[in-house]
Amino acid sequence: MSAPRPLRLLEVAALPFPSRQGTQVLLDAIARGLAARGHEVHLLVYAHGAFPVDVPYRIHRLPDRPRFRSLRSGPHWRRAALDLVLAVELRRLARRLRPDVVHLHNVEASAAALLVPGRPAPPCVYHAHNLMQHELPTYDPLFAAPVARRFGRLLDRELSLRADRTFAVSESTRAGLLALGVPDERVVTVEPGVDLEELAAPPTPPPCPFFPSGRREPHSPEALRVAHLGNLDRYQGVDRILDALAVLRRSGWPAELVAISDSDPAWVRRLADRLHVPASFVPHGSLAGAIDCARSCHVAALARDVPGGFPIKLIALLHAAVPLAATRSAVDGLRVDPVVWVADREGPSGLADAILSAATHLRAELRSAAGMQLAAERFSAAAAAERLEAALLPLVR
């Protein structure tokens, strides 16, 4: 059977790039993986990013107006203005490049392409990285949560119906779209993967000077260090982790939070103080450095409380063999229960039990080794690029 011909792909995302946030990490992995398979990849993003990057694909940037430098997710009037600029630049670039497929990541890029008159001529794919019906109400509201939820449902449904195909990052994301009335044949689950090579790079300078190198088995009253990796937006569920650590502290385990993030920690610090949970805040820095810091903890916790989506940090932590505890909502539909300690009940005590099990279980190393294998085989960038290519090819006219 002959290999598929190389495609010219226009990837579009309404965000700063690059940064160390999960969507940006995934976006880079997608573009690198498709380029490695011989496709010509172009990426259209905002004018700014967090750091310089050397990539095997072409980056196109919006004009730097209105000037915008925030790396945070969520609504902002400047983002709304930039999305209108994106709609214009997207159409101009599509006419010039004549791509085989326009690959639209998340809601804003898809709205700029599909809801503004004059949609691009090539087949358009809506890549649903989340479900806005659940995520939109978690941001500092421009309007009440019920209104935000209805508006999110409208976006989820309309973008999926207007796109030629929708790619969902997980089975739970796909199920959420089908529940809104999107036809079954229009939504394909394409699990993500990330480039794990950076994890092997030595961190410079040492990123986590507060803790001894290497993980230790916790024995009360030794502090039980619990890592949160990634941004501190409220939908990440850091408050749920702190509630669980408060339960552990009341039961005699002096648990501590180690937040590895470049986000403003103010609201997390205030909540930790109110709950009397010690908290340290470590700059994320390179992925290798962040993982090294997570390895110095006894366990990492995932408590994202928004259904749908796929926590990219999960792949990195599995590959790094960090014991993982999670709420059911954080890993819903991801098929990782055999390698993650998933809370067997809702509420802080359920997550507290999962954290303690992950930190102290006699077979933790065996489960972590199985997690490494799962990350290397199912969630590698190469495996994800092969899945994505298979989903894109049927759309090419």
Give the per-residue pLDDT at 210: 44
Residues 271 and 140 in one domain: no
pLDDT (mean) for 155-164: 96
The pLDDT tens digits for 4-13 are 789 999 999 9
The stretch 35-40 carries a mean pLDDT of 96
Note the pTM of the prediction, 2 decimals. Answer: 0.86
Measured CA to CA, the distance from residue 129 to residue 339 in angstroms comes to 23
Say what the pLDDT of residue 173 is.
93
Domain containing residue 204: CATH number? 3.40.50.2000
304 domain residue, yes or no? yes
The two tokens of residue 364 are 């933790």
Where residue 214 falls among pLDDT bands split at 50, 70, 90? very low
Residues 95 and 111 in one domain: yes
Tens-digit pLDDT profile for residues 369-386? 888 888 888 998 999 999
Asked whether residue 1 is domain-assigned, the answer is no
Helix locations, the chain, DSSP H: 22-36, 77-97, 106-114, 132-135, 145-162, 171-178, 238-250, 266-275, 287-295, 312-319, 348-360, 364-377, 381-392
Q: Give residue 222's pLDDT band: very low, low, confident or very high (50, 70, 90).
A: low
- Shared domain for 170 and 236, answered yes or no, is no
Per residue in 307-324, pLDDT tens? 778 888 899 898 888 899
CB-based contacts of 371, cutoff 8 Å, min separation 6: 318, 319, 321, 324, 336, 339, 340
Q: Examine residue 57 and state whether it is found in any structural domain, yes or no.
A: yes
Judged against a pLDDT cut of 50, whether residue 209 lies above it is answered with no
Average pLDDT, whole number, for the chain? Answer: 87
Task: Please give the residue that has the higher pLDDT: either 337 or 99.
Answer: 99
Domain count, the chain: 2
* Average pLDDT, integer, range 323-338: 90
The predicted pLDDT at position 196 comes to: 65
Is there a domain that residue 88 lies in?
Answer: yes
Q: Tell whether 2 is covered by a domain.
A: no
Lowest model confidence (mean pLDDT) among 135-144, 246-255, 256-265: 135-144
Q: Which residue has the tokens 């090579």?
A: 197
Determine the Cα angle at 240 with ends 237 and 245, to 5°.
135
Give the pairing type, strands 224-229 and 187-189: unpaired
Answer yes or no: is 3 within a domain: no
Average pLDDT over residues 197-206: 48
Dist. CA 292–CA 208, nearest whole Å: 8
Whether 336 and 226 map to the same domain: the answer is yes
Shared domain for 158 and 204, answered yes or no, is no
Give the whole-angstrom CA distance, residue 19 versus residue 22. 8
Any idea which of 151-165, 260-274, 353-367 has the lowest mean pLDDT?
A: 353-367
Q: Is 355 domain-assigned?
A: yes
- 227 and 204 share one domain: yes
pLDDT in tens, 160-182: 999 999 999 999 999 999 999 99
What local confidence, expressed as pLDDT, does residue 2 receive?
55
Contact (CB, 8 A) for 215 and 298? yes
Do 238 and 326 reside in the same domain of the chain?
Answer: yes
Query: Residue 109 domain-assigned?
Result: yes
Residues 345 and 386 in one domain: no
Q: Is the pLDDT of residue 183 over 90?
A: yes
- Regarding whether 214 and 162 lie in a shared domain, the answer is no
Per-residue pLDDT band at 144 (split at 50, 70, 90): confident
**Whether residue 199 has pLDDT greater than 60:** no
How would DSSP label each residue in 261-282?
A: -SS--HHHHHHHHHHT--EEEE
If pLDDT is split at 50, 70 and 90, which confidence band does 273 have? very high
- pLDDT above 70 for 216: no
Residue numbers of the domain that contains 266:
198-377
Are 42 and 166 within one domain? yes
φ, ψ of residue 20 in degrees (nearest 5): -95, 15
Shared domain check, 230 and 133: no
CB 19 within 8 A of CB 53: no
Looking at the fold, whether 231 and 338 belong to one and the same domain comes out as yes
